């Protein structure tokens, strides 16, 4: 499980560990992602190629995630000045494009361990089987009726990172803890 940022809250249920993080640097980039020149500019400004649909390049400590056909989310390095980086990216984009620091509006929860797929599958309408969801896959969806996005950070440790709104992050963390309670997992993916 990523431990680059100190968690603000932790819990363990069976073999599943949950860690809640606040103040993760995140920048929303809105641009025409079908334009090759714009994508080249974004790569030069962020250090990451624009990911394919429903993918993330990089990861927890510095990555670029596909959010929609005209939106990306940049996860910043722990020691990076996110506001300054957002201004730099915004200034480097042309046309109808923008970059905005959304760090205060978002929180991250990491869940890892045997059963993490099952916990997420209880609330997310996504095929989370090992064949259906692989490392680097990214989904913007809902978990327990809350808007969220998540990806498989590390397949070996079954480590997922979930991004949600700060205003609902406590509820989401509690929901995940409840969904991870001992003897509550259906074990669909245990033998995959």
pLDDT in tens, 141-167: 999 999 999 999 999 999 999 999 999
Domain residue ranges of the chain, discontinuous segments joined by +: 9-22+105-179, 26-103
Q: Can you give 31-71 as a three-state secondary structure string?
A: CCCCCHHHHHHHHHHHCCCCCCCCEEEEECCEEEEEEECCE
Q: Average pLDDT in the 110-139 region? A: 94
Answer whether residue 76 shows pLDDT above 90: yes
Q: Report the CATH superfamily, name and number, of domain 26-103.
A: Heterotetrameric sarcosine oxidase (3.30.70.1520)
Q: Average pLDDT in the 14-22 region? A: 85
Query: How much is the pLDDT for 60?
Result: 80
| pLDDT band at residue 192 under the 50/70/90 scheme | very low
Answer whether residue 57 shows pLDDT above 90: yes
| pLDDT band at residue 23 under the 50/70/90 scheme | confident
Query: How much is the pLDDT for 160?
Result: 97
Q: Based on DSSP, count helices (H) and strands (E) in the chain, helices before strands.
A: 4, 11
pTM of the model: 0.89
Domains 9-22+105-179 and 26-103 share a fold: no
pLDDT, tens digit, for every residue of 92-116? 998 899 999 999 999 999 999 989 9
Give Cα 52 distance to the centre of its chain.
15
Q: Report the CATH superfamily, name and number, of domain 9-22+105-179.
A: Probable tRNA modification gtpase trme; domain 1 (3.30.1360.120)
User: Are residues 75 and 85 in contact, defined by beta-carbon separation less than 8 angstroms?
Assistant: no
């Amino acid at each position: 499980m990523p431990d680059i940022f100190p968690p603000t809250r932790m819990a363990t249920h069976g073999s599943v560990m949950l860690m809640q993080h606040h103040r993760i640097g995140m920048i929303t980039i809105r641009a025409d992602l079908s334009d090759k020149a714009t994508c080249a500019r974004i790569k030069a400004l962020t250090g990451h190629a624009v990911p394919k649909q429903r993918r993330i390049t990089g990861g927890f400590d510095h990555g670029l995630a596909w959010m929609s056909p005209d939106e990306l989310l940049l996860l910043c390095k722990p020691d990076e000045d996110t506001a300054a980086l957002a201004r730099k990216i915004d200034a480097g984009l042309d046309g109808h494009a923008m970059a905005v620091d959304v760090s205060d509006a978002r929180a991250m929860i990491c869940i890892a361990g045997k059963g993490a797929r099952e916990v997420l599958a209880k609330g997310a309408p996504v095929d989370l089987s090992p064949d259906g969801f692989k490392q680097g896959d990214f989904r913007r969806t809902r978990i327990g009726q809350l808007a969220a996005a998540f990806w498989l950070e590390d397949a070996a440790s079954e480590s997922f990172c979930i991004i949600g709104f700060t205003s609902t992050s406590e509820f989401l963390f509690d929901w995940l803890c409840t969904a991870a309670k001992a003897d509550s997992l259906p074990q669909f993916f245990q033998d995959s």
